[in-house]
Amino acid sequence: MLAIVLGRLMRMVVVMFGISVITFAIFFATPASDPAARIAGRNAAPETVEAVRKDFGLDRPLPVQYVLMMKRLFVTRDLTSFANRGQKIIPAIVNAAPATLSLVTGAAILWMLGGTLAGIVAAATRDRWPDKLLMGLSMAAVAMPVFWVGEMVNLVTQSRFHDTWAFSWVPPLGYAPLGADPVLWFRSLVFPWITLAFLNIGLYGRVLRTGIIETYQEDFIRTARAKGLPARKVMLKHATRSAIIPIVIMFGMDFGVLVGGAAVLTEVVFGINGVGRLTYQALKVLDLPMIMATVLYASFFVVIANAVVDMLCLLIDPRMRQA
């Protein structure tokens, strides 16, 4: 077991190193990409571009640039932004992280509860109207782009019906820190949570339903029913418990990716200054140190989530330990 854990850790480091190299390559080594020209702006004089190149150290060999950037990111921790000179990278990410974490955690709770409930109800009422209704809804939920759902939610809650009793409590778009005003924090996040969770409720419900229905064909379910357990107990204690494993795997991956910044669309639509938005803004102005840091931050969560999920699987299913 220890060997597996150590091997896993080694792999994590290798994957993260690989990601940092890929990111670096995309922005520094692509023939079409000239960071100095981007920083200097459109129609800049060639001398300006050269000056920028020298100033930012972009004239050095690529491996040297890479090592220097990594050193300033991890060892001296004083890496600064290209776009806003003087802005330190690490504090910027640390400041953005709570907003994303609030958004994703709340949404995750919602979609795990909603998805599990939808899956169990649909499986229990298989091929009858609650199942058909839920699965129809889930198909529709999966088909909608998340930012569009967000826009439609904003249209209803911020504009069209904002003055009615139903939505007058919704604060203007933006993130309110938890520490400052917990109630405002909650109110400002209710609809972002619902929006972000919406798609996953559909997805998770679907996967769980399929899993339960498959599990129902297994021998141990027949045994449980044959020995006279009530149907509800068979459903909840036996079938759901075994069918929830793929959900746990999916959850780990989705949560990691979202915390890392993949909630960018939701953040943009609801004006939440989280990690995703920070990354997106850095990408837009080609702020390379910021991009490097945010992408590594994101991949860190993905890799961690991957590892945690693998460990969980090893714990749940001993058969996987041999592989």
Partner 1 sequence: MGPVTGGMSALPTDDKAPSPAAIAGEGAWVSRGPWRRVLDGLLASPTAVISGLLLLLIVVATLLAPAYAARVAGSDPFRSGLSARIEIDGERVPVMQQSTEGLGLGVTPIGPTWRAQYFLGADTQGRDVAARMLYGGRNSLLIAGASTLLCLALAAVVGIVAGYVGGRVDSVLSNLIDMIWAFPVYLLAISLSIVMIGKSYRFGPFEIASDSLIVPILIIGIVYVPYVARPVRGRVLALNQSEFIMAARGLGVRRGRILMRHILPNVATTLIVFAPMLMALNIVTESSLSFLSVGVQPPNASWGTILQDGQGLLYSRPMVSMAPGLAIMVTVLLLNLFGDVLRDVLDPKSARGR
Count of residues of this chain found to bind partner 1 when the rule CB under 8 A is applied: 55
Rank residues 153 and 185 by Cβ distance to partner 1 and give the closer one.
153
Among residues 215, 242, 238, the alpha carbon closest in space to that of 227 is found at: 238
Q: Could you give the string, one character per residue 150-189, with x where binding to partner 1 holds by CB under 8 A and - elsewhere?
A: -xx-xx--xxx-----------------------------
Question: For residue 2, which phi and psi values (nearest 5 degrees)?
Answer: -60, -40
Bridge partners, residue 88, by sequence? 80
Nearer to partner 1, 62 or 181 (CB): 62
**Cα 4 to Cα 253: distance, rounded to the nearest angstrom:** 20
Residues in contact with 266: Cβ distance below 8 Å, sequence separation at least 6, in sequence order: 103, 146, 147, 150, 192, 195, 196, 272, 276
Any contact of residue 10 with partner 1 (CB under 8 A)? no
Considering only 7, 41, 145, 182, the residue that binds partner 1 (CB under 8 A) is 145
Interacting positions 185-214 with partner 1 (CB under 8 A): 203, 206-211, 213-214
Q: Does the protein bind partner 1 through residue 313 (CB under 8 A)?
A: no
- Binding region for partner 1 (CB under 8 A) out of 54-62, 81-89, 225-233, 277-285: 277-285
Applying CB under 8 A, among 114, 192, 252, 260 the residue interacting with partner 1 is 260
Does 32 bind partner 1 (CB under 8 A)? Our answer is yes
Residue 29: name the closest of 58, 62, 73, 56 by CA. 62
Shortest Å distance, C-beta 215 to partner 1: 11
Burial class (CB in 10 A: 0-12, 13-18, 19+), 292: buried
Among 90, 142, 229, 245, binds partner 1 (CB under 8 A): 142
- Is 108 a residue that touches partner 1 (CB under 8 A)? no
Q: Can you tell me which of 18, 57, 174, 182 binds partner 1, judged by CB under 8 A? A: 18
Find the helix or strand (DSSP H, E) in which 69 lies: helix 62-70
Q: How far apart are CA 170 and CA 186, in angstroms?
A: 10
Taking the C-alpha atoms of residue 210 and residue 203, their distance in angstroms, rounded to an integer, is 11
Q: Is 140 in the site for partner 1 (CB under 8 A)?
A: yes
Contact between 85 and 289 under an 8 Å Cβ cutoff? The reply is: no
Q: What is the CA radius of gyration of the chain?
A: 24
- Contact between 22 and partner 1 by CB under 8 A: the answer reads yes
Q: Quote the CA–CA distance of 99 and 113 in Å, as a whole number.
A: 22
Q: Which is nearer to partner 1, 145 or 182 (CB)?
A: 145
Residue 310 in the binding site for partner 1 (CB under 8 A): no
Give the one residue of 30, 43, 76, 322 binding partner 1; rule: CB under 8 A. 30
Q: Of these, 143, 180, 226, 323, which contacts partner 1 (CB under 8 A)?
A: 143
Closest CA to 118 of 104, 132, 108, 103: 132
When asked if residue 13 is in the footprint of partner 1 (CB under 8 A), the reply is no
Instruction: Using CB under 8 A, pick the residue from 23, 100, 102, 200 that binds partner 1.
Output: 23
Cα→Cα distances 30→18, 26, 68, 231, 269, Å: 16, 6, 19, 60, 31
Binding residues for partner 1 (CB under 8 A): 14-15, 18-19, 22-23, 26-27, 30, 32-33, 139-140, 142-148, 151-152, 154-155, 158-160, 203, 206-211, 213-214, 257, 260-262, 264-265, 268, 279-280, 283-284, 286, 291, 295, 298-299, 302-303, 306
